[in-house]
Amino acid sequence: MNKKNKIFFYLFLLINTIIIFYDSEKQNLLTLSIYFLVLNISSYYFFDKVLLSLKKIFNIFMYLFFGVAPVLQYKSSTYFFGVNSVINETDMYYGGLLSLTIIIFHNLMYYFISTKKLTPEIKFPTKRLEVNFDFKIVSSVLIILLSLFVVTIFFDFESFISARYLKGLKGYKFYAINFFRDTLRLIPLFYLLNFKQGKVKDLRVEIVLILSILLFNFPTAISRFQVALVYLPLFYFYFKKLQEYFVLVFLSSFLLIFPYLHNFRYSLKLQRDNYNFFGMFNSLHFDTFQNTISVIKLSIITNGEQLFGSLLFFIPRSIWAEKSRTSSLLLCNEIEFDGFCNIALSFFGEGYINFGYVGLTLFLLFLAYFNAFFDKTYLNYNSSSFNSFYFIFIFYEFYLLRGSLTSSIQKLLIIILALNLLLLINYIMSYKKYTFN
């Protein structure tokens, strides 16, 4: 850790001390001390020598959702889904131990996998299309995409700037249209990320692609997750020197900008989600820790049925009547909550809900392995298509960790489909042959 990073780390130590011990007279000191370790260990990994990595995203997530949020909710006695969802003193204590174990286990396994060469040699199996950036071809592709997009919003042009729900559609048709529309949104982004890594320098192409991204993904018309997925990769591509401050930029965006964006679902007026700076951590957007602890406390285990249902999310219940319910519905049923059950269950909670502690451990091993594999691939393998995928996947992982698993699998399929559709469309339009990168 260099001198500058040491200064930042010491600053975080001060912030962590304030979060834990300020106004803590009524709380158990031993419990708070465990979360103090959670905050300090996770923030230590913010400042390793690699500028950009999935390991950093993992530790940022743990810092915010399994460190800061539980402590502030603990101090304010905040719980979300009725009296049966209350997290008591004992739950907080063991929840802190679980969070600490997850952080240590993941980072140790990540280090072991990375240094012991347990990931395969870099021979990326996918053939990459030599993307053609001829202005006429790019314009033609974007016109086709725009036409399809207008059809998916049923010519409701206000949807370009406002997060509006599709009128007259319910159930499976609604989700199918949204799935296709969200896939179209990402294709111009993949196009531009590939363009920025290529040798072609055509200002017309770049401007058209940027305008297309704005048109397809106007910040007030998409969710906060999609804003991060689209604009943070662009930010880091255009301001590469700021990659050195990746964690600080990410946290600043998360704490200062994203609270405003949630309100655009309901109104185009600029107002913050919560005027109290730390108040957002007591909102439902930070329920994943409590839900994870509740799932473990109630011993909700489906023996893999929920995982199977998540992987086959595209099969409607009208065809598969015995399809397992989502993790949110399973938890709501156990705690007898009859309100709107939009619950986020962390990736670790999803592991537990499928196979108990064995599942939690396997999910964590899976995460550490693929984080190490993707990070090493990015550092050692020069592919514009993979790099574009990696930059988007970095911000997707934050969503994956928060949950739920079913929704995360849908989002991942959208990302993969968007990249492959770009390559396919471009191939058809330009008649280029596949080449290995």
| pLDDT tens digits along 33-44 | 999 999 999 999
Domain ranges of the chain: 3-115
Q: Which residues pair with 129 in a beta bridge?
A: 434
What is the distance between the alpha carbons of residues 61 and 134, in angstroms, rounded to a whole number?
A: 40
How confident is the model over 168-175, as a mean pLDDT? Answer: 63
Question: CA separation (Å) from 126 to 404, 416, 434, 436?
Answer: 28, 12, 10, 8
Contact partners, residue 88, CB within 8 Å, separation at least 6: none
Task: Give me the percent of the chain exceeding a pLDDT of 90.
Answer: 27
Q: What is the pLDDT of residues 315-353, one digit of tens each?
A: 877 787 777 778 888 888 887 777 667 778 899 999 999
Q: Is the dihedral of CA 391, 392, 395, 398 positive or negative?
A: negative
For residue 97 the two structure tokens come to 């131990």
Q: What is the mean pLDDT of residues 243-252?
A: 85
DSSP string, 265-287: GT-SS---S-SSTTGGGGSGGG-
305, burial (CB in 10 Å: exposed 0-12, middle 13-18, buried 19+):
middle
pLDDT tens digits, one per residue of 231-240: 888 888 888 8
Side chain identity, residue 75: K
Which of 255-293 are b and which e, b meaning 16 or more Cβ less than 10 Å from the residue's Cβ? eeebbebbebeeeeeeeeeeeeeeebbbbebbbbbbbbb
* Model confidence at 62: pLDDT above 90: yes
**Top-ranked range on mean pLDDT: pick from 45-54, 276-285, 290-299:** 290-299
Q: State the pTM of this model.
A: 0.88
Taking 90 as the threshold, does the pLDDT of residue 243 lie above it?
no
Determine if the peptide bond prior to 77 is cis (ω within 30°): no
Q: Which two tokens stand for residue 291?
A: 């839900």
Give me the residue label for tokens 């409590």.
Answer: 290
Of the listed ranges 230-234, 246-250, 379-383, 400-404, the one predicted with least confidence: 379-383
pLDDT at 13: 92
Which one of 126-140, 156-170, 188-202, 328-342 scores highest in mean pLDDT?
188-202
Mean pLDDT value across residues 368-374: 92
pLDDT score recorded for residue 352 = 94
Q: What is the arithmetic mean of pLDDT over 263-274?
A: 53
Please enumerate in sequence order all residues whose Cβ is within 8 A of that of 397, keeping only pairs 6 or more positions apart, or say none: 54, 57, 58, 61, 371
